[in-house]
């Protein structure tokens, strides 16, 4: 009986994911990358330099040390390492960013909802997303638009382009 319930629950989850994915395709993803022109038409103002994010890096460290989650933060640093994509459930591009204070965070960028960011180790990058505590330094997710416009979306900025 328990095995049948688990199987049924798995089927329900798979159907829900399929419906959500279909709705996202129907809604379109035309606004997933926004080039930033000089003088800018970007809808969010972000800093050019990772050095401007010292205070944000300190906020992330404080959140990590107090095991705090659900904190929206704009920060930046240098890509330390690009990891393989996470392909379980929604696909996520994963990379580790070293902040100005040397603390590292994992960025999990949903590439089913936003365009992949063409970055490599050593690249400067800035981001806006939701920090979640984990024992490895924390993870920042929601670095994309909300396809249902129910909550504020995030973004990643790399080489003058904002990916949302």
Q: What is the mean pLDDT of the chain?
A: 78
Residue for token pair 């401007």: 52
> What is the pLDDT, as a whole number, of residue 1?
55
Average of pLDDT values for 64-85?
Answer: 97
2-45 pLDDT, tens digit per residue, is 555 454 444 444 444 343 443 333 334 444 454 433 333 233 33
pLDDT band, residue 105 (cuts 50/70/90): very high
Alpha carbons 113 and 32: distance in angstroms, whole number: 8
Of 108 and 23, which is predicted with more confidence?
108
The pair phi, psi for residue 149, each rounded to 5°, is 55, 35
Do β-strands 104-110 and 139-141 pair in parallel, antiparallel, or remain unpaired? parallel
Tokens standing for residue 7: 């199987």
Question: How many CB atoms neighbour CB 24 within 10 A?
Answer: 15
- Our measurement of the distance from residue 103's CA atom to the centroid of its chain's CA atoms, rounded to an integer in Å, reads 17
Query: What's the rounded Cα separation, in Å, for the pair 138 and 64?
Result: 6
> Do 94 and 80 touch, CB atoms closer than 8 A?
no
């Amino acid at each position: 009986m328990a095995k049948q319930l688990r199987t049924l629950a798995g089927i329900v989850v798979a159907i829900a994911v399929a419906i959500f994915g279909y709705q996202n395709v129907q809604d379109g993803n035309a606004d997933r990358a926004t080039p930033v022109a000089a003088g800018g038409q970007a809808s969010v103002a972000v800093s050019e330099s990772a050095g401007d994010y010292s205070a944000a890096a300190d906020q992330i460290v404080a959140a990590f040390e107090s095991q705090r989650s659900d904190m929206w933060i704009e920060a930046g640093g240098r890509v330390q390492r690009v990891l393989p994509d996470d392909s379980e459930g929604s696909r996520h591009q994963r990379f580790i960013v070293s902040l100005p204070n040397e603390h590292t965070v994992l960025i999990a960028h949903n590439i089913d909802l936003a365009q992949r960011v063409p970055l490599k180790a050593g690249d400067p990058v800035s981001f806006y997303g939701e920090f979640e505590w984990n024992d490895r330094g924390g993870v920042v997710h929601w670095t994309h638009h909300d396809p249902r416009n129910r909550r504020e979306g995030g973004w990643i900025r790399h080489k003058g382009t904002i990916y949302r």
